[in-house]
């Protein structure tokens, strides 16, 4: 089967597939960074842009992809998968999408490798660019920052779709037939965005909310860690240096021929450093969870970094273990907080790193050490972290989110035809008998006579008043000291 393909074609094909896989990962991760992408067209070929598309190469992403591939190529039964998940500040995480680059056995022997396959792979990348903006996770990723972050994970092998919940949908990006098999790119994405909380009831809620700004990752040995779809410029990363990717053997096909295949011009493939800005620093934006959101889980959304530093979460196969891990992770910051009112970075670093080192985890779980740079406090109601409550009772931390949630929930209930509105007008006589405006107005129009103005009473009291005057004067003279004291206080 493979003897039909010339060795040069075979080598080219393998190279195309390898770089296609790397570029696919770049496109997917960059689409989930939360920023708009913009690259320039260049009319003169530079030789470093694979598939004639200007797609930047973020070194960490390439590094992770190469690590996952470990020198292999996607083949039958061995797919390259990019998993996109969402993680809230409290440690809840949820898989959003799995992008799969697969190979099946259907071969297209007639197809020309250096030309048709290459162009079709280029077309497939363009389709991937379009499709990555269209799945629900895109809008979520554009709003990440305070309350949640988007993480990615690359793995190689069998596709695992279990974490996507029920009723996930699949969209096919495209296929390209090659002489060794058909490359197929697709995305399975979650529909049901209700949070599946892995929290247990006995977990102690943090007393105060914490905004964690930066987590600096340290290199670690791991099989497949989660990575944030946020990144910082190389200068900010402390202690993290990825080996620069130098592939002197890798050349980018830039020359084509309209006549029978001729020599390919070779150019050095160079990776550009990621000089891209931080993730969008949205302030307290609520998550837009559309239909499917379980109203009994109001959010419990705290705000991890507003500027993009994100905890590295080890991804583990078992949910139980993951819950433990998450619990530990959120405990450590709160432990740090209990120590001091205003956390200093050094103190927290110590506390956090001690506790995280303590949880040396089993086999494929990596050991992450967090060094928190800045911490700030946010007042958070005590009951926010508890298990399901009715929507109305949770007091809003970020007013917009919860009011949206609760109004959304309550508006559904207030569809009675008439609602008894009990209001107390300001002009009513007393609180017990509120009266309406008409009655008040009528009474106002016809007030009773002032008693002192009625004549018969007045005539009689005049005489009485004159008689009682001396007595009154005597009483007042007795109290003259009190009057004086009162006058003193006035002065």
Pick one of 42, 344, 454, 468: the residue that binds another protein (CB under 8 A): 42
Place of tokens 């305070």: 146
Q: Is 278 in the site for another protein (CB under 8 A)?
A: no
Distance (Å, whole) CA 139 – CA 133:
8
Burial class (CB in 10 A: 0-12, 13-18, 19+), 459: exposed
Adjacent-strand bridge partners of 304: 212
- Minimum CB distance to another protein, residue 208 (Å): 35
What tokens does 52 get? 């004639």
Pick one of 258, 413, 451, 491: the residue that binds another protein (CB under 8 A): 258
- Minimum CB distance to another protein, residue 300 (Å): 24
Q: Is 383 in the site for another protein (CB under 8 A)?
A: no
The residue range among 53-61, 80-88, 271-279, 478-486 that interacts with another protein, by the rule CB under 8 A, is 53-61
Q: Is 54 in the site for another protein (CB under 8 A)?
A: yes
Distance (Å, whole) CA 164 – CA 190:
5
Q: Is 294 in the site for another protein (CB under 8 A)?
A: no
Distance (Å, whole) CA 59 – CA 244:
7
The residue range among 39-47, 316-324, 326-334, 388-396 that interacts with another protein, by the rule CB under 8 A, is 39-47
The residue range among 3-11, 52-60, 377-385, 416-424 that interacts with another protein, by the rule CB under 8 A, is 52-60
Q: Is 175 in the site for another protein (CB under 8 A)?
A: yes
Distances (CA, A) of 26 to 30, 283, 322, 332: 6, 27, 27, 33
84 within 8 A of 229, measured Cβ to Cβ:
yes
Report the sign of the C-alpha dihedral through residues 383, 385, 388, 394, in that order: positive
Q: Is 107 in the site for another protein (CB under 8 A)?
A: no
One-character DSSP codes across 114-166? IIIIHHHHHHHHHHHHHHTTTSHHHHHHHT-SSSEEEEEEEEEES---GGG-T
The residue range among 210-218, 254-262, 328-336, 429-437 that interacts with another protein, by the rule CB under 8 A, is 254-262
> Per-residue string for binding with another protein, 18-37, x by CB under 8 A?
------------------xx
Q: Is 414 in the site for another protein (CB under 8 A)?
A: no
- Minimum CB distance to another protein, residue 256 (Å): 6
- Minimum CB distance to another protein, residue 179 (Å): 15
The residue range among 66-74, 118-126, 429-437, 477-485 that interacts with another protein, by the rule CB under 8 A, is 118-126
According to DSSP, residue 341 is labeled: S
Strand-strand pairing, 148-157 and 209-212: unpaired
- Minimum CB distance to another protein, residue 288 (Å): 9
Q: What is the largest CA-CA distance in the chain?
A: 137
Nearest to 143 by CA among 281, 308, 312: 281
Distances (CA, A) of 55 to 95, 125, 408, 486: 25, 10, 41, 87
- Which of positions 132-161 make contact with another protein (CB under 8 A)? 133-135, 138-139, 142
Pick one of 17, 96, 121, 124: the residue that binds another protein (CB under 8 A): 124
Distance (Å, whole) CA 146 – CA 302:
7
The residue range among 169-177, 232-240, 353-361, 451-459 that interacts with another protein, by the rule CB under 8 A, is 169-177
Adjacent-strand bridge partners of 80: 101, 156
Pick one of 70, 248, 259, 379: the residue that binds another protein (CB under 8 A): 259
Q: Is 188 in the site for another protein (CB under 8 A)?
A: no
Q: Is 254 in the site for another protein (CB under 8 A)?
A: yes
Nearest to 115 by CA among 52, 195, 196: 52
Q: Is 130 in the site for another protein (CB under 8 A)?
A: yes
Pick one of 9, 12, 49, 97: the residue that binds another protein (CB under 8 A): 49
The answer for 51, left when phi > 0, alpha when psi is -120 to 50, beta otherwise, is left
- Minimum CB distance to another protein, residue 257 (Å): 4
- Minimum CB distance to another protein, residue 442 (Å): 41
Q: Is 399 in the site for another protein (CB under 8 A)?
A: no
What tokens does 386 get? 């508890």
What tokens does 234 get? 């190389």
Q: Is 173 in the site for another protein (CB under 8 A)?
A: yes
Produce one character per residue of 75-85: b if its CB has 16 or more CB atoms within 10 Å, e if not.
Answer: eeeebbbbbbb
Q: Is 400 in the site for another protein (CB under 8 A)?
A: no
What tokens does 25 get? 């990962």
**Residues contributing to the site for another protein (CB under 8 A):** 36-46, 49, 52-55, 115, 120, 122-124, 126-127, 129-131, 133-135, 138-139, 142, 171-176, 254-259, 262, 265
């Amino acid at each position: 089967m493979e003897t039909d393909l010339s060795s040069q074609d075979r080598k080219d094909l393998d190279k195309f597939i390898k770089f296609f896989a790397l570029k696919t990962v770049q496109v997917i991760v960059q689409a989930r960074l939360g920023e708009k992408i913009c690259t320039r067209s260049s009319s003169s070929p530079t030789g470093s842009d694979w598939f004639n598309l200007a797609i930047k190469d973020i070194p960490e992403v390439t590094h992770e992809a190469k690590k996952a591939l470990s020198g292999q190529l996607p083949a039958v039964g061995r797919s390259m998968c990019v998993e996109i998940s969402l993680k809230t500040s409290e440690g809840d995480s949820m898989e959003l999408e799995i992008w799969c680059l697969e190979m099946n056995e259907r071969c297209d022997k007639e197809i020309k490798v250096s030309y048709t396959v290459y162009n079709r792979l280029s077309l497939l990348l363009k389709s991937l660019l379009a499709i990555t903006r269209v799945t629900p996770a895109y809008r979520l990723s554009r709003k990440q920052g305070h309350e949640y972050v988007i993480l990615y994970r690359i793995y190689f092998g069998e596709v695992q779709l279990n974490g996507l919940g029920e009723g996930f949908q699949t969209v096919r990006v495209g296929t390209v037939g090659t002489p060794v098999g058909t490359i197929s790119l697709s995305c399975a994405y979650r529909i049901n965005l209700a949070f599946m909380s892995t929290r247990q009831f006995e977990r102690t809620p943090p007393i105060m909310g914490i905004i964690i700004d930066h987590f600096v990752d340290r290199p670690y040995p791991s099989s497949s860690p989660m990575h944030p779809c946020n990144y910082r410029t190389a200068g900010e990363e402390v202690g993290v240096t990825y080996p620069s990717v130098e592939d002197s053997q890798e050349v980018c096909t830039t020359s084509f021929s309209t006549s029978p295949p001729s020599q390919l011009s070779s150019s050095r493939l160079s990776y550009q450093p990621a000089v891209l800005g931080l993730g969008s620093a949205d302030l307290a934006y609520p998550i837009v969870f559309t239909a499917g959101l379980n109203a009994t889980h109001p959010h419990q959304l705290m705000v991890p970094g507003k500027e993009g530093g994100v905890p590295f979460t080890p991804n583990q196969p078992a949910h139980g273990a993951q819950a433990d891990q998450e619990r530990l992770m959120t405990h450590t910051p709160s432990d740090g907080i209990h120590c001091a009112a205003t956390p200093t970075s050094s103190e927290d670093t110590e506390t956090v790193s001690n506790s995280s080192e303590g949880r040396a985890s089993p086999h494929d779980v990596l050991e992450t050490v967090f060094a928190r740079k800045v911490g700030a406090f946010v007042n958070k109601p005590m009951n926010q972290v508890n298990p399901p409550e009715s929507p109305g009772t949770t007091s809003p931390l970020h007013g917009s989110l919860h009011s949206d949630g609760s109004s959304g929930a309550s508006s559904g209930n207030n569809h009675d035809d008439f609602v008894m509105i009990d209001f107390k007008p300001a002009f009513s006589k007393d609180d017990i008998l509120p009266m309406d405006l008409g009655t008040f107005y009528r009474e106002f129009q016809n007030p009773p006579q002032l008693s002192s103005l009625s004549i018969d009473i007045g005539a009689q009291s005049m005489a009485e008043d004159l008689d009682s005057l001396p007595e009154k004067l005597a009483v007042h003279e007795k109290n003259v000291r009190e009057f004086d004291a009162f006058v003193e206080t006035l002065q």
